[in-house]
Amino acid sequence: MTVGGNLTAGPLFLITENQGGHLGTGGNMTLDVSGDITTQGDANFQIFNNDNGSGPGTIDLDATINVTAANISTGVDSFGSSLDGLINNATGSIGGDAIVNVDVTNDITAQGPANFTIDNSNGGSIGGTTNGNTFFQILNNLSGDVSPSIGNDATVFVSGANILTSGQLAFGVENNGGSIGGDAILDVTAGSNITGANTFFQILNSSGTIAGDATIEVFTTNLSVDGLNVNIDNSNGVIGGNATVDMNVSGSATVTNDATFDILGSDGAAAAAINFNGGSYDAGGTFLALIDGNGTITFNNASAHADVLKVGALGTNGVLNIGGGTLSADTTLELYASGSNGQLNFVSNVTLGGNGAKILAANSVKIFDSVVVTIGGSNPADVYTNNANYTGFGGNGSTTGTFAGAGANDPQPLSNAPPFGPSSPAPAPTPVASSSNITSSGKGGGKAIGTAINISSSDQLLSLLDGAALGPGGKITIPGSKIASNWRNSTRLNAASLLRRDRGAAEFRTGSSLSVRRLPQ
């Protein structure tokens, strides 16, 4: 469909329904508007190829949603839905590529949640590539007996001058129990600013297989969010290539609460790395960077401040490289590479600031030749190492690098180091976002409190729902193992896909569909 000027509507629905059907040529939907798209209600661009009772659909070639406009501005429906781009292939088959492509010259303004999703869960199959160039999730989760598969790459690509939302912002590739034949990539670029409430960049591969690399790349000048979670979860999974998080901030990153950057299950990948390339990070709560197995965390002329700052490369061969900048904490600063071959390397001058305790723990602590590590505050740093490779302060003199400022206490054996303590969990996402200059007033979250299960936040509720099963009368059964959980995985996006995957076109027309965006506001 091509519109020469502006397109104005109440609600807007462009829907292809192929449940139980067969499209031999492809399921492509195109809306090309030279002016603006404006709706008083919600706008929906959807391809349904799932099983809604009449059997799954089959699309022999590509399934593509293409929307082009100068600006998109949407209202909300009675349930708070605002903008939705969806390819639902749960249990279905797409022989070619699945693509959601939203190309907006200027701004996307959604008065409620904006969701762009490719759902390939519950045994779906996509033979080609899934990708898109605006905010959305790719859901390739196992939710039945048949593992879903994507034959080539799964890519989320977002690029805009600014990425702005007053609600929550989430970018995700979910492959829990699924298979991706190529790479899983999140590539998010903002020329100036990324602004949002709780913000998530996640590749979730629990018990899944990614044949190639799993990569999260974020490029921005400034970032300002309530909470930040950047996560590759490969627990019990396999990544044939590398698992990499690259944070490229040229200005400042301000996080009101906690900032978490982690790679879990890193030993299931060929290699793992978290890189902070430039920028100044300031977290009001805890700044946590963690690789639970082998891997390397590197600060390249990056600075970070938090109430508690903890960086741990905890595998047998974990490496932590500090190259320039200032790391400071008001309460506690911990730098750990505590594996039997772990290395903490100071490769250029750095300041460890703040008045709180400073703990350095690694099998080898090395200050490179001519490098000075300045300890701020009045208390010397506590060093726990079996190899103190520096000069002075109990070092072995193998390098000319040394401490300055308050200095360091003589090193103690690594076995005496205090444990690398837990961090508070990040809140679970209620996805709201898009690209170019993007503004949204959608809100997410909610609380629930039960008599037998005490839930203090929405992330715990969503974590419970990840293990829930629907029973007779719509009742939800939660396994006992989930009740006893320590909520470690509460940041996952799985609950969103659990609530979303069965919706169909009729549900949107009747307003009865379930989606994470319609949780209590």
Region of 456 on the Ramachandran plot (φ > 0 left; ψ -120 to 50 alpha; else beta): alpha
Burial of 379 (0-12, 13-18, 19+ CB in 10 A): middle
3-state secondary structure of 495: helix
What count of other Cβ atoms lies within 10 Å of the Cβ of residue 13? 15
Q: Which of 70-74, 193-197, 474-478 has the lowest mean pLDDT?
A: 474-478
State the pLDDT at residue 257. Answer: 98
Q: What is the DSSP string of 58-102?
A: EESS-EEEEEEESEEEE---TTS--EEEEEE-TT-EESS-EEEEE
- Highest average pLDDT, of 64-78, 158-172, 218-232, comes from 218-232
- Tokens matching residue 314: 């905890």
State the pLDDT at residue 129. Answer: 38
Q: Residue by residue, what is the 3-state secondary structure of 269-317? A: EEEEEEEEECCEEEEEEEEEEEECCCCEEEEECCEEEEEEEEEEECCCC
Angle in degrees, CA 511, 515, 517, rounded to 5? 100
What single-letter DSSP state applies at residue 516?
Answer: G
- Tokens matching residue 45: 């661009």
pLDDT digits (tens, 9 = 90+) for 97-151: 777 777 777 777 777 777 777 776 554 443 443 333 334 466 666 655 556 667 7
State the pLDDT at residue 392. Answer: 98
> Are the C-beta atoms of 519 and 458 separated by less than 8 Å?
yes
Burial of 2 (0-12, 13-18, 19+ CB in 10 A): exposed
pLDDT at 75 over 60: yes
State the pLDDT at residue 120. Answer: 63
Measure CA 388 to chain center. 37
pLDDT at 384 over 60: yes
- Nearest by Cα to 9 from 46, 39, 47: 39
| CA atoms of 453 and 471, how far apart (whole Å) | 19
| CA atoms of 205 and 178, how far apart (whole Å) | 8
Query: How confident is residue 256, by pLDDT bands cut at 50, 70 and 90?
Result: very high
Q: Which of 131-140, 202-211, 225-234 has the lowest mean pLDDT?
A: 131-140
What is the pairing mode between strands 252-255 and 214-220?
unpaired
| CA atoms of 401 and 389, how far apart (whole Å) | 8
> What separation in angstroms does the CA of 332 have from each of 52, 68, 228, 380?
53, 50, 20, 13
Type of residue at 168: Q
What is the pairing mode between strands 476-477 and 469-470?
antiparallel
- Nearest by Cα to 379 from 325, 339, 331: 331
Radius of gyration of the chain (CA): 24
pLDDT at 477 over 80: no
Residue with tokens 């639970």: 292
> Are the C-beta atoms of 433 and 197 separated by less than 8 Å?
no
Query: How confident is residue 457, by pLDDT bands cut at 50, 70 and 90?
Result: very low
What are the sequence ranges of the domains in the chain?
448-518
Query: How confident is residue 503, by pLDDT bands cut at 50, 70 and 90?
Result: very low
pLDDT at 374 over 70: yes
State the pLDDT at residue 388. Answer: 99
pLDDT digits (tens, 9 = 90+) for 310-360: 999 999 999 999 999 999 999 999 999 999 999 999 999 999 999 999 999
Percent of the residues in the chain that have a pLDDT greater than 70, as a whole number: 73
pLDDT at 68 over 80: yes
pLDDT digits (tens, 9 = 90+) for 281-302: 999 999 999 999 999 999 999 9
350, containing H or E segment: strand 350-353
Across the range 477-494, mean pLDDT stands at 39
